[in-house]
Structure 1
Amino acid sequence: MKSIWNGAIGFGLVNIPVKMYSATESSTLDLDMLDKSDLSNIRFKRVNEKTGKEVEWDNIVKGYKLNDRYIVLDEEDFEAASPEKSKVFSIQQFVDEDEIDSVYFEAPYFLEPQKNGENAYSLLLQALKKTRKVGVGTFIMRNKEILGIVKPYHDVLIINKIRFPEELREYEELNIPPKKVKPNELKMAVALIDLNSETFDGEQYKDTYSADLLKIIKQKAKGQKLKVAKGAEPTDRTIDLMEKLKASLEKSKKNIS
């Protein structure tokens, strides 16, 4: 794996030098965009909107439009903004992870100790395991401030990137139904949830769509005719909610027995 950030974890007055690696990879198939007429690859160009000519990477700069004119930024400008955060993920507080709503969570990253940081790395890992806490802090990566938590994941430390509160949209414009529900329906729904509750096991969930799509691709490559089985369309609305809940409970009981 190739590291995407080199820096340190600030733990009190202790700095733990680390390298950061992406902990995830996409399971979707890498599909190319093609011209339907001759299946040529579609390529996107960086074009000057005034001249219509392609611009080389070396001639591209970043700028911010302020008072109808662009202010161009260079690497020194990015480094000058919050320089104390550019190389150190400084833990600002320790919290219980379940205090952070899952809506804030984004991507996880593995942390690997650099030379002379092994002992402090192990100490923080074991201390977080013992206290069952996670450390919250920020750092700069790719010219952007990242809010995240550092936590144990098996025998490795990870940083889990989380969203800033201002990144979450308001939901007041949505047509949300009233909170009132019928007591009997609620009781039945709770029973259905309890009956199907178990310990989470991520290993039982697989990306079957990509595998099925690859089978179709291989069939088409061999010139085989496809048999298309349409999925059942969801019903528009539930007419008798109680009857549906009862039927769901009976089905769950049969599956368990």
Structure 2
Amino acid sequence: MRSLWSGSISFGLVNIPIKLYSAIQPGSIDLDMLDRKDHSNILFKRVNEKTGKEVEWENIVKGYKVDGRYVILTDEDFEKASPEKTKTIDITEFVKLDEVPAIYYDAAYYIEPEKNGGKAYILLRDSLIKARKAAIGSFVLRNKENLCLISASEKILVLHKLRYAHEVRSTEDVKVPQSKVSAAEINMAIKLIDQLSGKFDITDFKDSYTETLLKFINAKAKGRKFTAPKMRVVHSGPKDLMSELKASLSQAKRKAS
């Protein structure tokens, strides 16, 4: 793996030199964009809007428009804006994991200690495990200050970028109809939840859509017909909720037996 960021974690007066690696790898099929006429690949080019000529990456700079003209920024300019933050993850507080709503979680990264940071790394990892807490901090990645959460996962520390509060939309525009549910219906639903409850194991879940799509692609490549599974959608009415819950319970019992 290639590291995406290197710097250090500031933990009180303790400094832990580390590297960050992306914890995520794409799971979707890599599809190419083609011209319908001759199946030639579609190319995307960076062109000058005035000349129409292609511009090489090394000749592309970043700018911000002020009073009708652009102020050009270099990598050094970004670092000068906050030099102490560009290479440091500053831990500001510790929280319980369940205090951070899932909606704020963003990209995940594995944290690896540099050779001279091994003992301090283990100190932070084991302390987080014993305290049952996670660290909240901030750092700069790709010229943007990011809020982050550091937690202990098995043998390593994992960093999650967190979304800021202003990045999460309000729920006010989500319309939920006003409807009363009886206590009996809630109790029946809880029974169904209890019956379908189990210990979470991520390996139990498979990307069935991608598997089916690959089967379709292979069948089409060989000139064979592929019968897609049919989807049956039944909309529940307010009067038959209880009967559907009872049927769901009996169905779950049959699967368990």
TM-score range, shorter chain: over 0.9
In structure 1, how many angstroms separate the alpha carbons of the residues matched to 2:171 and 2:49? 36
Query: How far apart in 2 are the matches of 1:110 and 1:219?
Result: 38
Q: Which amino acid aligns with 1:33?
A: M
Aligned to 1:174: 174
1:31-46 counterparts in 2 under 5 A?
A: 31-46=31-46
Structure 2 distance, partners of 1:32, 1:7, is 36
Give the aligned partner of residue 154 of structure 1: 154
Deviation beyond 6 Å, 4+ runs, structure 1: none
Structure-2 change in CA distance of 1:36 and 1:235 (3 Å):
same
Deviation at 1:179?
A: 6.4
> Aligned-pair RMSD on alpha carbons?
1.6
Find the aligned partners of 1:85 and 1:231 in 2 and give their Cα distance. Answer: 53
In the aligned structure 2, how far is the partner of 1:135 from the partner of 1:177?
39
C-alpha spacing 1:48/1:200, structure 2 compared with 1 (3 Å) = same
Alpha-carbon spacing, 1:179–1:160, altered in 2? closer, same or farther (3 Å):
farther
Identity %: 50
Matched, 1:164 2:170: no
Find the aligned partners of 2:180 and 2:135 in 1 and give their Cα distance: 39
CA displacement at 1:237 relative to structure 2: 4.3
Normalising to structure 1: TM-score of the pair? 0.93
Q: Distance in 1 between matches of 2:172 and 2:180?
A: 18
> Partner amino acid for 1:227?
F
Contact kept in structure 1, 2:104 and 2:163, CA below 8 Å: yes
Listed as ranges, the matches of 1:96-135 within 5 Å are 96-135=96-135
Q: Which SS does the other structure have where 2:192 is aligned? A: helix
- Per the alignment, residue 253 of structure 1 pairs with 253
Work out the CA distance in 1 between the residues paired with 2:231 and 2:221: 28
C-alpha contact 2:216 2:226 (8 A) present in aligned 1: no
Partner of 1:60: 60
Secondary structure at 1:70 match in 2: strand
How far apart are the structure 1 equivalents of 2:34 and 2:127? Answer: 53
SS of residue in 1 equivalent to 2:39? coil
Q: Distance in 2 between matches of 1:218 and 1:175?
A: 42
Q: Deviation per CA, 1:152-186: give whole Å up to 9, x if none.
A: 11101111111111110112122112364222221
Query: How many Å separate the matches in 2 of 1:70 and 1:237?
Result: 57
Output the CA distance in 1 between the equivalents of 2:158 and 2:174.
Answer: 35
Letter paired with 1:123? L
Which residue in 1 is equivalent to 2:188? 188
2:237 paired residue number? 238
Please name the residue that 2:21 is paired with.
21
The 3-state SS of whatever aligns with 1:139 is strand
Paired letter, 1:178? Q
3-state DSSP of counterpart to 2:115? coil
